[in-house]
Amino acid sequence: MLNIFHKLLKLAFIFSALITGWTSVILLSGTTFNIEIKELINKMYFNQKNFIFNVKDLSLLLVKDANERFSEKNQGIIPLNNSKLD
């Protein structure tokens, strides 16, 4: 299993390096697609930023849901140490 993970990680790294290098060469060479490539890179950046914010919001919602469910479960439980201070 670890070997498969290592191979997938290596493949993802090689693919990322290839795309990064290819994009850099194209942008430096000044082709007619520079504007479209830059717009797409900006979209990718903003989508990545939005993804991170969405993960944060999802985490907060999951914590709120868990707190609510746990508090509902604990409402039905009567504490055994119910000593009153008079």
pLDDT number for residue 58: 87
Summarize pLDDT for 21-66 with one digit per residue, the tens. Answer: 999 998 898 888 889 999 999 998 889 889 888 989 989 888 998 8
Q: 82 lies in a domain?
A: no
Q: How far, in Å, CA of 32 to CA of 34, rounded?
A: 6
pLDDT number for residue 49: 87
CB-CB neighbours of 23 under 10 Å:
14
Q: 84 lies in a domain?
A: no
Average pLDDT over residues 3-8: 92
Q: What's the angle, vertex CA 56, arms to CA 51 and CA 58, rounded to 5?
A: 90
* Alpha helix positions (H), the chain: 2-29, 34-75
Q: How far, in Å, CA of 48 to CA of 46, rounded?
A: 5
pLDDT number for residue 79: 54
Report the sign of the C-alpha dihedral through residues 40, 41, 43, 44, in that order: positive
Comparing 84 with 10, the larger pLDDT belongs to 10
Range of the domain at 20: 1-31
Same-domain status, 37 and 27? no
Same-domain status, 20 and 49? no
Same-domain status, 14 and 48? no
